[in-house]
Structure 1
Amino acid sequence: MHSSEPPARGPRASRGSSLGELSADLRYKHQSQIMNGSEEIVEFLPVNNGKKMEKRGPKRWVMLLVVVTGALLLSLMVGFLVWHFQYRNAKVQKIYNGYLKITNRNFVDAYENSNSSEFAELAGKVKDTLEALYGSVPALGPYHKTSVVTAFSEGSVIAYYWSEFRIPQHKVKDAEWALMGERVFQVPPKSRALSTLSVGSFVAYPVDPRTAQTSLDNSCSFALHTKVGEVTHFATPGFPDSPYPNRARCQWVLRGDADQVLSLTFRSFDVAPCNERESDLVKVYDSLSPVEPRAVVALCGAYPPSYNLTFLSSQNVLLITLFTNTPLRHPGFAAQFFQLPKMSMCGGSLNEVTGTFSSPYYPGHYPPNIDCIWNIEVPSGNNVKVRFKMFYLVEPHVTLGSCSKDFVEVNGEKYCGEKPPFVVASRSNKMTVYFHSDTSYTDTGFLAEYLSYDSSDPCPGMFTCNTGRCIKNDLRCDGWADCTDFSDELQCVCNATHQFTCQNKFCKPLFWVCDSVNDCGDNSDELQCGCSAQTFKCRDDGKCIPESKKCDRHRDCADGSDEADCGDGAGAVTCPQNSYKCHSGECVSKANPECDGKKDCGDGSDEDQCECGTRSFNKQSRIVGGQNSDVGEWPWQVSLHAQGQGHLCGASLISPNWLVSAAHCFVDDLKINMRYSDPWVWTAYLGLHDQRQRQASTVQERKVKRVIRHRLFNDFTFDHDIAVLELDQPVTYSNWVRPVCLPDATHSLPPGKAIWVTGWGLTAEGGTGAVILQKGEIRVINQTVCHRLLPQQITPRMVCVGFLNGGVDACQGDSGGPLSSMEDNGRMFLAGVTERAAVLGHRRARPVTPSSDRAHKEASARKLFWIFVSSSLTWLKARDHKRFSGLIRPPRRWVRGRIHRVNERPRARVLFVLPYPLFPALCDLGCTGQVSAWRGWHHF
């Protein structure tokens, strides 16, 4: 019988309690429960390792990983859905321009007027045809928004249009492939049934959407039709009195009669300069639809009037567009066009012993889409030789040498691009020349001459290049590659007197040794050019002086580099002589920092008053021989005319009132009783290009008010041959009249630097003066080499320069004319003044050899040098930092000196300064020790 009282806890209970409280290996404590009236005791058995038991449960980091992974997957899914429904399906605007040919309609004049009912009726049918065509292509039909017909032209009727599509982003490539795959499509039969038009072909190209906007905006849209015998003129809005508008979209539709072609010429062209980013752009199309494969030319920048900007069409229409994107103010263009009969045949048979032929309409641009064949046949037994004198078949985006578009083919070989004169010869008495131009981008073309020659003696009395070209025998082994394959310079024995033998056995003029230019090709002419031990090498001219003369307070190097970096010792100077000194006194060690477009001085004084040395026209003409200058190419060039004698000397414009010239031009000639020293004898013509056109509107005529020459000028040695002229009234700067920059006293002309000489000198030695302003490219020669070749003939005020290449045909620098040096930013500096008229007609300097004949030496020397300007600036540079402004006025820092007039003895001391440190030539002998006088003669 059980008692109603619960039994007392026995030892078992106590033990269980004790285990529940003390056992660390149990997850739960012992608890007793009464179930069904009886006490139930629950007890967990101990385990050997409780920690392992715990780790078998869910882990916190695993749960975190699962949560993060899920979140990422969710984010990716959301992103994909957003891209799929928003970006992928976002509509992209695409505009296509093109044209289609309607074969069952004839062109009527009413189609030229977009407001006529005939135009509207045909345009509607064309739009229906386009809609049907696009609808037949699944990749295009659903996305076509609208089409606009812009014009019609002959042939039978060509309809020009643009179409707009709104295509989902992910279907753009499919649409482009469908529309652009073959570029020309035949309209499907089903589409033809839906239209009353018979369409022969359909062409479409992607275009800038702005082009479509232009066709809808009539505010700057013009339609012109020229007639037989007429020349029609047109220009940009406001030309020439005001600049064309910014952000303009203009177009000109040009037409002629059926079976005619158009000749378009830009008489004046000046828009914003070209750059890699958006710039103002004029494009001409051989179509009334502005599609790139029919573009004839793209123009920007400014062209001189002498540049040939004549373009031909392949049919009776042209389209001109103007897009402006810059706020720069430019006048735009003036143009004219006329029609002429379409060329029925291009090429032909040439059967004479010698003759010439050229690309169609040369020197204008040849028309697009044309093929010409010339069959040349000379007497039996002779061979044919063709010399291409001019060759310009350049097309954008064509890999050099690929000749995949425009080309000339001779003897199975294609020629394209821009090439110097070259010769092609045959092995028989026949030759075929084939010329091809595609539908886009044309060029000047070519000018060629052919002749018959005896294959056994192809060049009678001359040297025959391996290419077949004939050159004079005296050009053989002269250091110049007159043959394009260098065959005239192979297997030569060099003349040790005036030639250097390269390691590769080429012969080069000694003048080119150690000038920092690899003339030999193996650089052997630039080896062993250092100074010997115990000597110091001057930086600019490479002259070697004894080490003991370094830092001795006396400038032995022309550039003062021997007195630079001398610390605070004996040779200490405020700024090293080869450093540029800012107005603030700061020294800049950078070479030629003045007017380089970068602020090198803290006060910006190196970029002050830099409105000089620039040209309005950034394009140059292509001229046979390459020596006629363009109009406005050298706007600082001045022609000095003596009374009753015409052009005698040249000069350079450096400010509105002042010119720089040569002192020997103003020496009196008592034999003819001519006082060249009197200012009234001289008239200056500025902006002159052709000596026969001194009355042209671009030319400014001024009288000379005053002539001032270097007081140390020696008319026997021509040392200090420099002078300045003051004009009676200032000139007005224009596209044709601008000053050249005057260099700082520290301006460097390193050996090998290319520079330009210009003038109206003799076109050949002993010949007559040139009518058109001439130019020639030369380069600076190592001074040490020049001293060695011409001992005791070069003073510290002289420097040698000579020809850069053998391609100069005819030019002579005028006495007093400029030597122009271009810096990296395109700005021109006056590097020198022509001391003596130097003949360029021989294409190279004749070798100068030591001679006991003094007269021969003097005659040679006077053809070898130029007066060097920049090294004349040191003395006043240390006293005044302003650039030459053309005013003689009381200076900020008074400089005591004497002005010396021609043929006058100085009678009184005056206070004199030129704000730009140009003329130590004007100072008294008392400043001789400080003047680094006008240096340099320049070699031809």
Structure 2
Amino acid sequence: HHKQDRRARMHEDFNYLDKKESECFSRLEATDVVQAFHSPGFPVKYPAKSRCQWQIRAPENHAISLRFTQFHVEDDCSNDFVSIYDSLSPDSSQAITEKCGQRPPSNPLQVVSSSNILLVNLITDSSTQRPGFRAEYSLIPISTPKSCGGLLTNVQGEFSSPHHPSFYPPALDCKWTIQVAAGQKVRVKFNMFRMKEPGVDVRECHKDYVEVMGRKYCGELSSLSLTSPTNTMDISFHSDESYTDKGFIATYNAFNPKDPCPGLFACAVGICIAKDLKCDGWNDCGDMSDEMDCKCEKEQFACDNGMCKPNYWVCDRVNDCGDDSDEKQCSCGDNEWRCGDGTCVPQDVVCDTRKDCEDGSDEASCKVCTFTCKDKSCVNKVNAECDRVADCSDESDETNCDCGIRPYKLNRIVGGQNAELGEWPWQVSLHFKTRGHTCGASIISDRWLLSAAHCFKTISPENHMASSWQTYSGMQDQTKQAGVERRGLKTIVSHPDYNPMSYDYDIALLELSEPLTFSNTIHPVCLPAPSHVFPAGLPCWVTGWGTLREGGNGGAGTLLQKAEVKIINDTVCNVVTEGQVTSRMLCSGFLSGGVDACQGDSGGPLVCFEESGKWFQSGIVSWGEGCARRNKPGVYTRVTKLRDWIRTTTGV
């Protein structure tokens, strides 16, 4: 209702606008030449309470292509937003999209009209003003069913929704027919699929969809692979009159059904994977067909249902086996309370005056303090800091919380392991002398970085000299310096108890020669309180430029890499590392095989996303066995155990 009221109010505002006098109303004519317009006040800030409108027309039988080269509107779409219509009036049935927030250059907003008219609206309230936008427009040939789709007869190829990666146009139907030689079959893999619309049931797909073999697909899919029963396959694409998205890009190939994957393992869904991925505990096929009928290796756990899983997934509170057999004989976790009868309840129900354990043991001895406020008072709440709720009477749990956010709006599912620009704004590259990237670090304030002691405490005394190092913040590509801030080091403080044999206390603090200026691509990560809990099973991310292959012969990567990992139960971690883990360390294992924290990523951050919308650094890349080994965990310095030392040393 709120949205409908706002639409009606907006409509009235425009009707009452004296359009001739308003600097906020423009009629634009699209031509072959790219032209530009921008929001009022750009690039400083747009005015409060703006109601702006740009009507764009093109000659008959042409469409309009619109691309926002810069886009920065307040983050909350209920206050400020840009809406784009496939018409000349703000009619919600003709809305193409509505956007707010800040978009990086790697993810620009691009839309295409279905006919020769387009409308752009900017609505702002009175509170927060941002720079606004700059947009470019030009005319292009109109999209018709004749101009998209078609017959594809090559052995392999690629096709995509019209104008990908721009938003596809509204009101369009396309059909591709893939036809390969008799006796062969067709395999199609969608490498990117985004057809999200407000209020659409993704089981029915009654608005925009792709239809293959009688089934409709819509929404956002991280992977979709389909195989035809014959030598032809039809793919239909439909967009209705309102709301569009980025669409899809897909590859196809012909294969011989008698030998569908020469030299590889054939999944039941029709995709091919390397043979060594079969029976390794990871669902590479997507339908578990590579994990059936397996004999478990020694570093694997044998599930009751016959599947094999990595040993370190046991007792992480995730039902990895599917029958819960990996979670049956587990002790309670860090943020759980064990009742007298052995059942586990969440830590924050202890001492809440309600009996959660059958025997009442959770209320028996109630002096629990999970977070200590600045005034020394106690809060019994897991992860109270920076969760946007003031739990301390002095509000000290919500101070110093301008951290752990990404200024740029990014796609939720980003393909591949290359990081996007601004995706990890706290990541730093440390260059040693003239040897280039050597270690990673993270930004914890404008003057201090966090890294690993083993990068500096080496046989060579030069490694511990501040003058030997240069730091690069805001970097994504090692070959590009635009927007990157370079700083020297003033001091290196390695932990006095660091042990080069065991890697215990593997932590170092780096003071910069001059402070950083925070920006869209340079921003500090949040540091967790000593009591902060990162439970086993929590998915987190590790980032760095380290070598791309084990042994280092691949050389350091030029593009920042990322890998999703999950926190491993401490007891299990100690077993799989054969007792080499101290309480200052934590383990994590890979959620998708192939990419790992590698040499050269040392000192880089392991970060976890909290429900409050902030990223906290749980670990520092310390050591591990080899690279990208699926059943060997990575070991990290545990930040919570050293949080007090960080504060004492830096004041952060």
After TM superposition, the score normalised by the length of structure 1 is 0.62
Note the alpha carbon deviations across 1:452-478, whole angstroms, 9 max, x for none: 111111112222222212122222222
1:713 to partner: Cα distance: 2.2
Q: How does 1:487-526 map to 2 (within 5 A)?
A: 487-495=289-297, 497-526=298-327
Q: How does 1:740-759 map to 2 (within 5 A)?
A: 740-759=525-544
Sort the Cα spacing of 1:542 and 1:449 in 2 relative to 1 into closer, same or farther, 3 A.
farther
Q: 8 Å contact 1:814–1:838 — kept in the other structure?
A: no
- For residue 287 of structure 1, give the secondary structure of its aligned residue in structure 2: coil
Match of 2:371 in 1: 580
- For residue 462 of structure 2, give the secondary structure of its aligned residue in structure 1: coil
Match of 1:915 in 2: 651
Match of 1:114 in 2: none
Match of 2:109 in 1: 309
Residue in structure 1 matching 2:640, options 870, 873, 888? 870
Match of 1:209 in 2: 12
- For residue 305 of structure 2, give the secondary structure of its aligned residue in structure 1: coil
Match of 1:600 in 2: 391
Uncovered stretches (5+) of structure 1, i.e. residues with no partner: 1-93, 98-204, 531-536, 544-563, 569-574, 849-862, 877-882, 885-911, 917-940
1:630 to partner: Cα distance: 2.5
- Tell me if 1:721 matches 2:506: yes
Q: How does 1:331-480 map to 2 (within 5 A)?
A: 331-343=131-143, 345-480=147-282
- Tell me if 1:687 matches 2:474: yes
Q: 8 Å contact 1:667–1:675 — kept in the other structure?
A: no
1:668 to partner: Cα distance: 4.7
Distance in 2 separating the partners of 1:567 and 1:416: 53
Q: 8 Å contact 2:564–2:592 — kept in the other structure?
A: no
Q: How does 1:132-143 map to 2 (within 5 A)?
A: none
Match of 1:222 in 2: 26
- For residue 761 of structure 1, give the secondary structure of its aligned residue in structure 2: coil
1:709 to partner: Cα distance: 1.0
Distance in 1 separating the partners of 2:215 and 2:256: 23
Q: 8 Å contact 2:82–2:121 — kept in the other structure?
A: yes
1:676 to partner: Cα distance: 2.0
Residue in structure 2 matching 1:834, options 600, 621, 639? 621
Distance in 2 separating the partners of 1:657 and 1:829: 18
Q: How does 1:708-787 map to 2 (within 5 A)?
A: 708-765=493-550, 766=552, 767-787=554-574
Q: 8 Å contact 1:639–1:684 — kept in the other structure?
A: yes
Distance in 1 separating the partners of 2:375 and 2:221: 51
1:693 to partner: Cα distance: 1.4
The code of the aligned residue for 2:305 comes to N
Distance in 1 separating the partners of 2:596 and 2:12: 51
Distance in 1 separating the partners of 2:31 and 2:479: 35
Sort the Cα spacing of 1:776 and 1:341 in 2 relative to 1 into closer, same or farther, 3 A.
same
- For residue 463 of structure 2, give the secondary structure of its aligned residue in structure 1: coil
Residue in structure 1 matching 2:438, options 645, 648, 662? 648
1:237 to partner: Cα distance: 1.0
Distance in 1 separating the partners of 2:615 and 2:88: 43
The code of the aligned residue for 1:915 comes to G
Residue in structure 2 matching 1:630, options 407, 417, 420? 420
Match of 1:802 in 2: 589
Q: Which has the higher contact order (CA 8 A, sep 6+)?
A: 2
Sort the Cα spacing of 1:810 and 1:871 in 2 relative to 1 into closer, same or farther, 3 A.
closer
Q: 8 Å contact 1:639–1:686 — kept in the other structure?
A: yes
Match of 1:9 in 2: none
Sort the Cα spacing of 1:503 and 1:716 in 2 relative to 1 into closer, same or farther, 3 A.
same
Distance in 2 separating the partners of 1:398 and 1:335: 29
Q: Over aligned residue pairs, what C-alpha RMSD do you find?
A: 2.9
Sort the Cα spacing of 1:567 and 1:218 in 2 relative to 1 into closer, same or farther, 3 A.
closer
Distance in 2 separating the partners of 1:913 and 1:687: 25
Q: How does 1:49-60 map to 2 (within 5 A)?
A: none
Sort the Cα spacing of 1:692 and 1:254 in 2 relative to 1 into closer, same or farther, 3 A.
farther
Q: 8 Å contact 1:764–1:810 — kept in the other structure?
A: no
Distance in 2 separating the partners of 1:809 and 1:374: 35
Distance in 1 separating the partners of 2:26 and 2:639: 53
Sort the Cα spacing of 1:447 and 1:287 in 2 relative to 1 into closer, same or farther, 3 A.
same
Note the alpha carbon deviations across 1:835-871, whole angstroms, 9 max, x for none: 148877x4xx4335xxxxxxxxxxxxxx620111111
Distance in 1 separating the partners of 2:626 and 2:564: 13
Distance in 1 separating the partners of 2:203 and 2:82: 28
Distance in 1 separating the partners of 2:63 and 2:267: 42
Distance in 2 separating the partners of 1:249 and 1:540: 49
Distance in 2 separating the partners of 1:227 and 1:757: 47
- For residue 511 of structure 1, give the secondary structure of its aligned residue in structure 2: helix
Note the alpha carbon deviations across 1:112-165, whole angstroms, 9 max, x for none: xxxxxxxxxxxxxxxxxxxxxxxxxxxxxxxxxxxxxxxxxxxxxxxxxxxxxx
The code of the aligned residue for 1:503 comes to D
Match of 1:639 in 2: 429
After TM superposition, the score normalised by the length of structure 2 is 0.88
- For residue 871 of structure 1, give the secondary structure of its aligned residue in structure 2: helix
The code of the aligned residue for 1:224 comes to L
The code of the aligned residue for 1:594 comes to E
Q: How does 1:172-321 map to 2 (within 5 A)?
A: 208-214=11-17, 216=19, 218-228=22-32, 230-241=33-44, 243-274=45-76, 278-321=78-121
Sort the Cα spacing of 1:565 and 1:748 in 2 relative to 1 into closer, same or farther, 3 A.
farther
1:651 to partner: Cα distance: 0.7
Would you tell me which structure has more helix in proportion to its own residues? 1
Q: 8 Å contact 1:387–1:449 — kept in the other structure?
A: yes
- For residue 705 of structure 1, give the secondary structure of its aligned residue in structure 2: strand
Distance in 1 separating the partners of 2:63 and 2:624: 49
Q: 8 Å contact 1:411–1:432 — kept in the other structure?
A: yes
Note the alpha carbon deviations across 1:791-827, whole angstroms, 9 max, x for none: 2211222111112x32766775711111112222111
1:394 to partner: Cα distance: 1.7
Sort the Cα spacing of 1:712 and 1:430 in 2 relative to 1 into closer, same or farther, 3 A.
same
Q: Which has the larger radius of gyration?
A: 1
Distance in 1 separating the partners of 2:301 and 2:97: 47
The code of the aligned residue for 2:408 comes to F
Distance in 2 separating the partners of 1:396 and 1:810: 36
Distance in 1 separating the partners of 2:639 and 2:499: 17
Uncovered stretches (5+) of structure 2, i.e. residues with no partner: 339-361
- For residue 302 of structure 1, give the secondary structure of its aligned residue in structure 2: coil
Q: 8 Å contact 1:758–1:774 — kept in the other structure?
A: yes
1:302 to partner: Cα distance: 2.2
Q: 8 Å contact 1:642–1:648 — kept in the other structure?
A: yes
Q: 8 Å contact 2:167–2:244 — kept in the other structure?
A: yes
Distance in 2 separating the partners of 1:588 and 1:541: 16
- For residue 464 of structure 2, give the secondary structure of its aligned residue in structure 1: coil
1:501 to partner: Cα distance: 2.4
Sort the Cα spacing of 1:524 and 1:211 in 2 relative to 1 into closer, same or farther, 3 A.
farther
Distance in 1 separating the partners of 2:625 and 2:512: 27
- For residue 23 of structure 2, give the secondary structure of its aligned residue in structure 1: helix
Distance in 1 separating the partners of 2:415 and 2:495: 40
1:833 to partner: Cα distance: 0.9
- For residue 294 of structure 2, give the secondary structure of its aligned residue in structure 1: coil
Sort the Cα spacing of 1:618 and 1:662 in 2 relative to 1 into closer, same or farther, 3 A.
same
Note the alpha carbon deviations across 1:681-729, whole angstroms, 9 max, x for none: 21111111222211x1x22111111112122323332222111111111
The code of the aligned residue for 2:328 comes to L
Distance in 2 separating the partners of 1:403 and 1:662: 50
Distance in 1 separating the partners of 2:82 and 2:594: 34
- For residue 715 of structure 1, give the secondary structure of its aligned residue in structure 2: coil
The code of the aligned residue for 1:623 comes to V
